[in-house]
Amino acid sequence: MKRVAITGLGAVSPAGLDVAGTWDAVVAGRSAIRPVQIDHDERMSCPIAAQVLDFTPEDHFAAKQLVALDRNSQFAVVAAREALAHSGLDPQSPQVRGAAAIVGVGAGGFLTLDAAFHKLYAEGGKRVHPFTVPRQMCSAAPSQVSMQLGLQGIAYGVTSACASGTHAVGQAFHLVRSGISTVAFAGGTEACITQGAIMAWEALRVLSSDTCRPFSKNRSGLVLGEGSAMLVLEDWDHAVARGATIHAEVLGFGANSDAGDLTSPDEENIALAMTLAIRDANLTPDKIGYVNAHGTGTAMNDAVESAAIRAVFEGAPPPVSSTKGVLGHSLGATGAMEALLSALALREQVIPPSANCDQPDADLGIDMVAEGARAAPFDAAMSNSFAFGGLNAVLVLGRA
């Protein structure tokens, strides 16, 4: 089994259109949750979202390309381009040409579908755009990443709701560790902030009306976000041989299913997923120095995840924080974004804060890093994702 290095990082987020801007905002606890900027009417009661602003598609794509690209795929391609440039890999090398592209997607091309349905049902149109299907399908993002970057290895989409990005990175980790792929592009993407999508989440009664406050006593729900994060995973020996900068190492991946309730998380199985990841990394819980939590900001999810963390770490967990107070919950992209941020936390030896946690909930029994970013020496970090349907995925990363 091969060691797996992270050599490239790319991001498009509500806090910044690249990795540097995103990381700066997360470390500062500078929230990108704002009044929603979409066309909507009085039926939509949630006034906020974490949107990617100032993103101009024409700056990144030719007009002929945009015809076939939903915003969901646009984000993924731009993040993948940054990750490739960041990695220092030769785009024409056999390793890049044969690279895998595994992308987690929660909702797919939601804006394309929303526009098609509006044209049919609201405007009485007789037909929709001829590229509606290839733009909205959940495999559009990995397809576009592979085409735009010339990646001819295995490529597919992963759809496991809010765990999609973490599952995608985990699958790519397996490909590189097993020797099937020397290089893999892995991540997640999402762009589904429309009135219809927000109202669907409103119906679940899990949205906050003011902001996301993970692990705070006054937490009132999650906030929808959007964006993309892409990581370049590479055979460690190959990365060392070419003199690459290695930002972190993927050590382990654990995943399971609650096989229980569709929307309520299960503490025992969440704890098991974390334990599986730690075992896969050949570590013990005491070696984990930071947990980037799923941390949605809902009363139930934060309580269940905290209880599971306490169980895994036998009542003495390391610092735990959620970055959703800055970036919102970007569904299929969120796990990949949090894996990227965990890699940066290891590289910089800085634990990001739980932004907006102004009333730390002592009953949760965790150190939620509410006071701001914290410099701390640590060698391994865990990144958690727990999705509707009881689909759990956990990554363990190590300091390079």
DSSP code for 89: -
Whole-angstrom CA distances from 86 to 80, 138, 314, 375 are 10, 26, 39, 25
- Pair 381, 291: CB distance under 8 Å: yes
Q: What is the C-alpha separation between 243 and 245, in angstroms, rounded?
A: 7
DSSP code for 331: G
Joined together, the tokens standing for residue 30 give 């500078």
Strands 248-257, 391-399: parallel, antiparallel or unpaired by DSSP? antiparallel
Whole-angstrom CA distances from 301 to 75, 244, 267, 346, 354 are 28, 39, 10, 26, 15
Strand partners, 387: 391
Q: 218: burial class by Cβ within 10 Å (0-12, 13-18, 19+)?
A: exposed
212 assigned to active site = no
Active-site choice (167, 174, 247, 294):
294
DSSP code for 225: B
- Pair 21, 6: CB distance under 8 Å: no
Q: 139: burial class by Cβ within 10 Å (0-12, 13-18, 19+)?
A: middle
The residues, ordered by sequence, that sit 6+ positions from 124 with a Cβ below 8 Å of its Cβ are none
40 assigned to active site = no
To 5 degrees, how large is the angle CA 172–CA 178–CA 181? Answer: 55
Alpha helical stretches, state H, 118-184: 132-136, 140-149, 164-177
Q: What is the C-alpha separation between 304 and 290, in angstroms, rounded?
A: 18
Joined together, the tokens standing for residue 143 give 């397809």
Q: What is the C-alpha separation between 388 and 326, in angstroms, rounded?
A: 22
Active-site choice (86, 174, 329, 357):
329
60 assigned to active site = no
Give the residue from 1, 8, 396, 3 showing the smallest Cα distance to 185: 8
Active-site choice (46, 162, 192, 212):
162
Give the residue from 335, 297, 142 showing the smallest Cα distance to 212: 297
Query: What is the set of active-site residues?
Result: 162, 294, 329
